[in-house]
Structure 1
Amino acid sequence: MTETMDQIYSSWANRLRNNQGIRSLMEDLGKVTGHPDEILLGGGNPAKIPEAEALFQETFSRVAKHPTLRSLLGDYQAPTGNDSFREIAAEFLSLHLDANLKKENIAFFNGSQNAYSFLLNLHSGPMANGSFKKILLPVVPEYIGYADQTITEDVFIAYPPKVVVTGKHRFRYELNENTFDLKEVGVLALSRPTNPTGNVLPLSDLEWMEEQTIPKRIPILIDLAYGNPFPNLIGNGKPIFYREGRTLSLSFSKIGLPGVRFGIVVSNEDTIETLSSFAAVNNLAVGNLGLFMMEHLFENEILPNLSNNILRPFYEKKRDLALALFTTAFEKLGVDYEIHDPMGGFFLWIRFPSLSVSNHELYHLCKDKSLFIVSGHYFFPGLNSDFSHTKECIRLTYCRKEEELARGAEILAEIVASHQANSK
């Protein structure tokens, strides 16, 4: 009988194995069986929108009939994309990001998650001058997928945000300028709209932070996966444009193409050149399908029209429906709850102040009932302060069908009502 040899892995590998929120989230997505009792409110899959699906089908068919199909299937791109595609993106994005971009400002990756793994490691950990730099998350909670991307441990810094009551059962997180500290910081990272809360950081906050970061030559990474120019789910917020000192990350996932794995980075020439080295070592090359689809979707403002006339109205309607369904279910059973103002994206961030179990335990209680949610404790990397929201909040997607949202609201309300501090 052959004995299994115990493996000794690197500390980085062990840290990944011992985690982690993003793995749990994606495994939940991958393990669903399709049983009608399953209620999938945890993942980040975009909704299936018939008008968008038809457009993608037409785009895919056009790509398949392209005279250069052999290049699509049989040729490598450069690590961050060949110059012809980079020029197409630079021309398109110059119009939509209010900047005079060149191909040297553009890099393509196999998803923006892939791009961020390079960007975060580029600006943190042991530096070439002997210093050690960290990543500041200006407002937490923040995206679940950042926390475990750095090779170096303990590089995230975060402080409790301002919590502002905005109405009955409503609140909002805001930048706390009093705790903003750039000591040891090599880069700032934020998403807009914020995943998980749907918060759309005011441009005035971004500009205030840049008054502090630019003199210190500290860059700001801005994840626009749900933001402008596509899918442009920013509610009443003003769009972010490209400026020196900002690195913007865009994605095709939330327009409805997560399986294509295509992301775009817009930054200064030196950063893009360095990212090309990262990409060559780790990926060899960016995949071709996203590039060929991008070429079509950028023509004649197809993608902006999809974003503004189909995606935004659809998700805003879904948001309002979800708010109504969950509010009704919570009120009916006397649930103590608060919802972060959903200003953009497609998630609800819900706090249960009287919950007698942790949000992670709530996740498992819901999963036992075939209701999939995401525990909020994963969304606070670098926060070492005692902040009650880390144990009281969950994230839900409202991309699902009405009947699934309604059943999920009822089950969640029943579980929370029976696990409140004042429940009998």
Structure 2
Amino acid sequence: MTETMDQIYSSWANRLRKNQGIRSLMDDLGKATGHPDEILLGGGNPAHIPEAEEIFQDVFASLAKDPNVKSLLGDYQAPIGNDHFREVAAEYLSPLLQSNLKKENIAFLNGSQNAYSYLLNLHSGPMADGSFKKILLPIVPEYIGYADQTINEGTFIANPPNVVPTGKNRFRYELDKRSFDLTDVGALAISRPTNPTGNILPLSDLEWMEEKTKPKNIPLLIDLAYGNPFPNLIGNEAPIHYESGRTISLSFSKIGLPGVRLGIVISDSDTIETVSSFSAVGNLAVGNLGVYMMELLFQRDILPKLSINILRPFYEAKRDQALALFTTAFQKMGVDYEIHDPMGGFFLWIRFPSLSISNQKLYHLCKDKRLFIVSGHYFFPGLNTDFSHTEECIRLTYCRKEEELARGAQILAEIVASHQAKSK
């Protein structure tokens, strides 16, 4: 018989033991059974695209045949990558990000999730001058994975968006410039395209924010996991470039290599040096496989062409397919719905204005039917004002096969239709 003991944990540990959005999402991904009736529309896995996977397999095979494979398997990197790989990345990324990067501007981490666990704590909490700084999310909803990364509680503050109708059953979130308070703010954080909505903030909004933040020396953290220069799922929107005051993160996950766990941080040398200290304590070193694959992908100049010629057309076709399937199912069942304009990334953000239950309850009802979605209430960390979308929205991926999307649309439409208020 196994005895259990009442343990006393830290406040941070107790917070993490509670219901977290990111853990719920990843548990759903990891505990999928492969049952033929499972419909996995909740996670952030990229699609398996044969043309892309052939390229990655060829790169992987080249590494396996390389005489230096013993270093790949048997040696540690430096905490944020050896100088050689950092120089390779700086040289390659400079023209893509319209900047003159040096290795001192580059850090490799074990995924951008890992990178943000350092960056958010670097700029928030109790500071050396005795102040307490917070992370401002200038527009929510925002990425589910930020919420529980800071050691200190009460670290996030968030601005609700302006909700702008853009067509029948369609809308878009826009930055509300009337409520932009930088009091006690240590950094701003945005994703572009935004996860979960696919929104892409215009460059003019970023420049407007930086007019306010730069005089106060407040950095802007920009998560480009779905953005330029790869996988570049930004439609016709202008790309981001690197400049002083910005910390940019890139990821190999959404190009189709989530298992490699490589994130790239581009920032000023002092931030990079500090991140190196975080990484040495938290990881010892960045993993080898990602940086070795990166070198070959950069040497062969694969990723820009892959992004434009394969990834973007594939995901835009999947988006259009999903929009058609869900629109048809919703209209057939008389569902009251709105979809955020999916400008980039690979998710649909759907609002049900007449839903008579919470989106979290909807998640559980869908899960009972083996349909996995993500409840939208997780995507509003730091928002302290009433905003109906926090209880009315869900996120789902359109990276799955057409038949799976169609079954998911039908099940979701049936459940929502049976839980709609008759009048609102």
Give the TM bin, normalised by the shorter chain. over 0.9
Q: CA deviation at 1:3?
A: 3.8
SS across alignment from 1:327: helix
- 2:116 maps to a residue whose letter is Y
Q: CA deviation at 1:282?
A: 0.6
Q: CA deviation at 1:2?
A: 6.2
Q: CA deviation at 1:421?
A: 0.3
Q: Does 1:324 align with 2:312?
A: no
Q: What is residue 188 of structure 2 aligned with on the other side?
A: 188
- Superposition pairs of residues 11-410 of structure 1, within 5 angstroms: 11-410=11-410
Q: CA deviation at 1:422?
A: 1.2
Q: CA deviation at 1:122?
A: 0.1
Q: Deviations over 1:161-199 (max 9, x none)?
A: 100000000000010000011011000000000000000
CA distance in structure 1 between the partners assigned to 2:120 and 2:369 by the alignment:
37
SS across alignment from 1:179: coil
Q: CA deviation at 1:235?
A: 1.1
CA distance in structure 2 between the partners assigned to 1:299 and 1:165 by the alignment:
45
Q: Deviations over 1:252-307 (max 9, x none)?
A: 00000000000000000000000000000110000000001001111232111111
- 1:46 maps to a residue whose letter is P
SS across alignment from 2:286: coil
CA distance in structure 2 between the partners assigned to 1:229 and 1:303 by the alignment:
8
Q: CA deviation at 1:19?
A: 2.7
Q: Deviations over 1:93-119 (max 9, x none)?
A: 001000000000000000000000000
CA distance in structure 2 between the partners assigned to 1:164 and 1:260 by the alignment:
38
SS across alignment from 1:157: strand
Q: CA deviation at 1:394?
A: 0.1
CA distance in structure 1 between the partners assigned to 2:21 and 2:288 by the alignment:
29
- 1:334 maps to a residue whose letter is G
CA distance in structure 1 between the partners assigned to 2:212 and 2:19 by the alignment:
33
Mind listing any 5+ residue stretches in structure 1 that lack a counterpart?
none
Q: CA deviation at 1:144?
A: 0.2
- Superposition pairs of residues 401-420 of structure 1, within 5 angstroms: 401-420=401-420
CA distance in structure 2 between the partners assigned to 1:217 and 1:56 by the alignment:
40
CA distance in structure 2 between the partners assigned to 1:216 and 1:152 by the alignment:
23
CA distance in structure 1 between the partners assigned to 2:3 and 2:45 by the alignment:
41
SS across alignment from 2:296: helix
- 2:128 maps to a residue whose letter is A
Aligned-residue RMSD, C-alpha = 0.8
Number of residue pairs matched by the alignment:
423
Q: Deviations over 1:313-371 (max 9, x none)?
A: 00000000000000000001110000000000000000000000000000000000000
- 1:292 maps to a residue whose letter is Y
CA distance in structure 2 between the partners assigned to 1:3 and 1:232 by the alignment:
52
SS across alignment from 2:34: coil
SS across alignment from 1:98: coil
CA distance in structure 1 between the partners assigned to 2:272 and 2:208 by the alignment:
26
SS across alignment from 1:90: helix
CA distance in structure 2 between the partners assigned to 1:116 and 1:138 by the alignment:
17
SS across alignment from 2:300: helix
CA distance in structure 1 between the partners assigned to 2:293 and 2:422 by the alignment:
54
CA distance in structure 2 between the partners assigned to 1:4 and 1:265 by the alignment:
42
Q: CA deviation at 1:159?
A: 2.0
- 1:185 maps to a residue whose letter is V
SS across alignment from 2:100: coil
SS across alignment from 2:189: strand
SS across alignment from 1:199: coil
Q: Deviations over 1:368-411 (max 9, x none)?
A: 00000000000000001000000000000000000000000000
TM-score, structure 2 normalization: 0.99
TM-score, structure 1 normalization: 0.99
CA distance in structure 1 between the partners assigned to 2:236 and 2:194 by the alignment:
14
CA distance in structure 2 between the partners assigned to 1:81 and 1:286 by the alignment:
6
CA distance in structure 2 between the partners assigned to 1:205 and 1:5 by the alignment:
52
Quick one: structure 1 residues 281 and 166, their matched pair in 2 at CA, closer, same or farther if it must change by over 3 Å? same
CA distance in structure 1 between the partners assigned to 2:9 and 2:261 by the alignment:
29
| Aligned-residue identity in percent | 81
- 1:8 maps to a residue whose letter is I
SS across alignment from 2:394: strand
SS across alignment from 1:265: strand
SS across alignment from 1:133: strand
CA distance in structure 1 between the partners assigned to 2:132 and 2:355 by the alignment:
39
Q: CA deviation at 1:4?
A: 2.1
Q: Deviations over 1:6-39 (max 9, x none)?
A: 1110000000001300000000001111011000
SS across alignment from 1:328: helix
